[in-house]
Amino acid sequence: MAWQSRGGGRRYYTRSARRNGRVKRLYLGAGDVGEAAAAADRERRATRDAEREAMRLAMRRHAEVDAQVDALCNAAETAARALLLLGGYHRHDRGEWRLRRA
């Protein structure tokens, strides 16, 4: 998206777009029309950037919380296995818990 000068020094606001597999430059207008199109594009870009930033922050926060839940799960699973083993159980083929024969 940019302003381009054409004959007579008149500036046109343009936008690149893909049409039938080829990139084409669209001339959106000069003067007030061009300014309005540029402002709309700026706003759309700012909204998209803000959403991307929010999503990036959310994903980082998700990772932090997931790590805390993982720590709890690991601790609980380890404690459960430890007490089952101390209680005389073992896992048969790494699956079902069975009482170890004396």
Q: Does 83 bind other proteins (CB under 8 A)?
A: yes
User: How many residues interact with other proteins (rule CB under 8 A)?
Assistant: 33
Shortest distance, CB of residue 80 to other proteins, whole angstroms?
Answer: 5
Compute CA distances 89 → 10, 22, 78, 81, 102, whole Å: 85, 68, 14, 9, 11
Q: Can you read off the two tokens belonging to residue 9?
A: 């020094």
* Residue type, position 92, single letter: H
Q: Does 87 bind other proteins (CB under 8 A)?
A: yes
Q: Does 44 bind other proteins (CB under 8 A)?
A: no
Q: Greatest CA separation found in the chain? A: 100
Shortest distance, CB of residue 18 to other proteins, whole angstroms?
Answer: 18
Q: Does 101 bind other proteins (CB under 8 A)?
A: no
Strands (E), the chain: 2-6, 10-19, 22-30, 89-91, 97-99
User: Pick from 17, 46, 55, 57: which binds other proteins (CB under 8 A)?
Assistant: 55
Interaction site with other proteins (CB under 8 A): 51-52, 55, 58-59, 61-62, 64-66, 68-69, 71-87, 89-91, 97
